[in-house]
Amino acid sequence: MKGLINKVADHVPLKLLRASNIKKIPPGFPGSGRRVYPGFYQLAGFMLLNLKPHVRKHTEFVKDGLRGDADAQEASRGFYDEYFAVLDMTESFYIDSLQRIFFEHHMPRGLMTYEGEPIDFEALDTMPLLTIEGAKDNMCTLGQTEAAHAICPNIPDALRQHHVQEGVGHYGVFSGSRFQNEIYPVARDFIRAHDKG
């Protein structure tokens, strides 16, 4: 099963994504004139992927207010304050990422470079590798992150770990209570176990 970004890359030319998603920051705002992929576009896309739960949460917010449940409203407000905090991406970061990762598949084809030099993932043999995926992630579906283990075949098994977090989608892998209580401890413990500092 392909994630949303892969499906888009299969059907929408990069040139069209640039034309439809890249906008200039308007006059009077910090960064005026810079070309960016606006944060509100990203947010709209995230919300449209799971529209029903967001409508349900906003409906509950109103009901909580009518019931006088300020604690429930504050919890919802806290979630959305964080969820809505999306920054603009520079044009070069957005387009280069799409092109290299999703259109041209640089990593699995051995074309990835750093400062103009090719990256040899097979040379990695002492670096710990932790990959984490959300079981309900519809943007980067199961297996996409785990593929790093195949790309780096010479990392010993003792230095690698893969974690699938049940019950979370794309956003939940990086934020929220499941991140704090279940994902962060996995990452923290993995780093501590392999810290040679």
189 has a pLDDT exceeding 90:
yes
CB 100 within 8 A of CB 106: yes
Per-residue pLDDT tens for 60-77? 999 999 999 999 999 899
How many CB atoms are located within 10 Å of the residue 5 CB? 17
Q: Rounded to an integer, what is the distance from CA 150 to the centroid of its chain?
A: 21
Give the pLDDT mean for 128-155. 92
Which sequence spans correspond to the domains of the chain? Answer: 120-197
Q: Which residues contact 54 (CB under 8 A, 6 or more apart)?
A: 47
Percent of the chain with pLDDT over 70: 97
Q: Which residue has the higher pLDDT, 22 or 78?
A: 22
Considering the chain, what is the average pLDDT of its residues? 91
Q: Which residues contact 186 (CB under 8 A, 6 or more apart)?
A: 130, 132, 161, 163
Give the pLDDT mean for 88-117. 92
pTM: 0.76
Q: What phi and psi values does residue 28 have, to the nearest 5 degrees? A: 90, -5
Give percent helix, percent strand, percent coil of the chain, each to the nearest 5: 50, 10, 35
3 has a pLDDT exceeding 80:
no
pLDDT of residue 96: 94
